[in-house]
Structures are given as structure tokens and as C-alpha cells.
Amino acid sequence: MIERIRQEMLKLGFDEVTVDPMGNLLGRIGSGPRVIALDGHVDTVDVGELSLWDRDPFSGDIEDGILYGRGASDMKGGVASSVYAGALLKKSGIPDNVTLYVTATVQEEDCDGLCWQYIVNEDGLRPDLVVITEPTSLRIYRGTPRTDGNGSPHLRYLLPRISTGARGQRGLQDGRHHR
Ligand SMILES: [Zn+2]
């Protein structure tokens, strides 16, 4: 999955595309001091009981404009949107003072926040703003800024909890209810 997205970013002309040792994909556009990240995880929970699915969870069927499959909503759709948002920004011209990262992250379903802990601490990427494209039934949630022991707002501000409703559906009919 990471390799597929990496190829797409390269094709779309991202300025730099790297995979960190944890497996997170970081696509960069621009090089300004103001750093914005669009983030989405690419791992999914298991498909669970196959008989509960209306269709093959790995089919990728598209019908009446709806894409069906495990992770279609949580959150391949958000990742695809972010990659192409980056491409559009690249095409139209990113402001000189902005760096945009599109991140496709891993292991979110096993340990929410671990990937960004790694990106912040090990990769050294500390965006001013992160937009996480988790599905939220089209509602916007704002992450709660957190501080470290010294009151610095910089270390733990990247870990908002955005409710998706998907967790309650683990192993169930993700394809039907979360498109
Ligand atoms: Zn998710």
C-alpha cells in the first residue's frame, strides 16, 4: 500500500517522497517555514466475519458512485484525497512560506498515535498544523492541544482523537455503512 501511494506521489510531481524506518510515507511539496501536514493511516482492521459482508471486502467495487471495501472510508478515501490535494497545490503553485507534507501512516489501528510519535521524535517533523482525514460523517473535529511538562505546546499537539464510528463496526459491514 505504501509503495503504491509512493509511486502515485512521484508520478504527481511531489518534491520529495520518503519512507521512514517505521514505514510511514512522507510526501513533501514546497519548502517554506510554515509546515502543514495532511495525514491518513493506510492500515485497516481485519475484515472479520466474511459472511457478514454484502460483497468481497477486497473487491473495490464501485456502484452508483460508492466505493465498497475494507478501508474504503477508514481511510483510503482520505489518503487519496490528500495526495491529490497535494498534487493540485503543486500544480497551482504552493505559497513560498508553506511546506505541505502528505503523510500515509502505519500501525494506527494497533496503536493510535504511535506513528506520529515516531514522525515527531525520530523523523523530526513538527508541523504547525495537521489535518487528519479520518471519516467523521462530514463533521469537523478540532484536536485538543496538549503540552509537555514545561508547558511547551509543541510535543503532543498532534494526537487528537477523532471519533469515526468505525471502531464500533470492527469486523462488521464496513463496506455498507462506511463508504
Ligand atoms: Zn481510521
pLDDT string in tens for the chain (179-residue length) = 999 999 999 999 999 999 999 999 999 999 999 999 999 999 999 999 999 998 999 998 999 999 889 999 999 999 999 999 999 999 999 999 999 999 999 998 888 889 999 999 999 999 999 999 999 888 888 876 665 555 444 433 444 443 344 443 333 333 333 33
Number of domains composing the chain: 2
Considering the domain architecture, whether residues 108 and 179 belong to the same structural domain is answered as no
Residue 150 Cα to ligand 1 midpoint, Å, equals: 31
Considering the domain architecture, whether residues 150 and 172 belong to the same structural domain is answered as yes
> In the annotation, is 49 catalytic?
no
Residue 103's beta-bridge partner residues?
26, 39
Residue 153 Cα to ligand 1 midpoint, Å, equals: 25
Angle at Cα 45 formed by Cα 42 and Cα 51, nearest 5°?
Answer: 130
Among residues 100, 74, 104, which one has the least CA distance to residue 87? Answer: 100
Considering the domain architecture, whether residues 68 and 129 belong to the same structural domain is answered as yes
On whether residue 111 sits in a domain, the answer given is yes
On whether residue 12 sits in a domain, the answer given is yes
Residue 88 Cα to ligand 1 midpoint, Å, equals: 24
Residue 84: phi, psi to the nearest 5? -80, -25
On whether residue 150 sits in a domain, the answer given is yes
**pLDDT on residue 141:** 85
On whether residue 45 sits in a domain, the answer given is yes
Domain of 152, in residue numbers:
145-179
On whether residue 140 sits in a domain, the answer given is no
**pLDDT on residue 146:** 60
Considering the domain architecture, whether residues 40 and 104 belong to the same structural domain is answered as yes
CA–CA gap between residue 66 and residue 179 (Å, rounded): 7
H or E element that contains 18:
strand 16-19
Considering the domain architecture, whether residues 128 and 165 belong to the same structural domain is answered as no
> In the annotation, is 8 catalytic?
no
Considering the domain architecture, whether residues 11 and 97 belong to the same structural domain is answered as yes
Residue 109 Cα to ligand 1 midpoint, Å, equals: 7
From 8, 39, 74, 108, active-site residue: 108
Residue 149 Cα to ligand 1 midpoint, Å, equals: 29
**pLDDT on residue 98:** 97
Determine the length of the chain.
179
From 8, 39, 43, 134, active-site residue: 43
pTM score, whole prediction: 0.79
Residue 91 Cα to ligand 1 midpoint, Å, equals: 28
Considering the domain architecture, whether residues 153 and 69 belong to the same structural domain is answered as no
Considering the domain architecture, whether residues 127 and 162 belong to the same structural domain is answered as no
Considering the domain architecture, whether residues 13 and 99 belong to the same structural domain is answered as yes
Considering the domain architecture, whether residues 87 and 168 belong to the same structural domain is answered as no
Considering the domain architecture, whether residues 114 and 152 belong to the same structural domain is answered as no
